[in-house]
Structure 1
Amino acid sequence: MSSWHEFIFMGKHGAYVWSSYLMSLVVLLGLFIGFRMMLKSLKRQVQAEASAPESQKQKARKLKVSQAD
């Protein structure tokens, strides 16, 4: 039992260590969920554009690139 107690409290640094792990996990989960939502949104946009009639499709725009003098 003593070894678990020492592991959890880590010599009075347990609160800092475990809260750091928790915050890292929250940030990583937030990034994962955010990117999944963005990917689903982009997929829906691409599918909607692909299934739209030709008259409603937007033409590809050419980017104007200025050259340095």
Structure 2
Amino acid sequence: MSSWHEFIFMGKHGAYVWSSYLMTFFVLLGLFFGFRIMLRSLRKQVIAEANVKQSDKPKARKLKVSKAE
């Protein structure tokens, strides 16, 4: 690498390369923060469900399966 100028412009492909890196960075950043928000929401939901009294919880229904004749 003879100079920073050649590294930045990468033989006239610099705009494509650096914009690709930038878009990838923003997508990964969005995924990171999106999953953090989703995790917080799920954690609050689990804590809220754990704090509900056992008698207040809806009971699970049993499935009735009819046998095919």
% identity of equivalent residues: 76
- The structure with more radius of gyration: 2
CA, structure 1 residues 35+4, in 2 after alignment: closer, same or farther (shift >3 Å)? same
Supply the AA of the counterpart residue of 1:13: H
CA, structure 1 residues 31+61, in 2 after alignment: closer, same or farther (shift >3 Å)? farther
5+ residue gaps, structure 2, are: 65-69
RMSD: 2.1
Cα deviation for residue 15 of structure 1 reads 0.4
TM-score calculated relative to the size of structure 1: 0.78
5+ residue gaps, structure 1, are: 65-69
**Number of matched pairs:** 63
Supply the AA of the counterpart residue of 2:57: K
2:31 match: 31
Supply the AA of the counterpart residue of 1:45: Q
The farther-off stretch of 11-20 and 52-61 is 52-61
TM-score calculated relative to the size of structure 2: 0.78
Determine the C-alpha separation between the residues in 1 that align with 2:58 and 2:5: 64
Q: Which runs of 4+ in 1 moved over 3 A?
A: 58-64
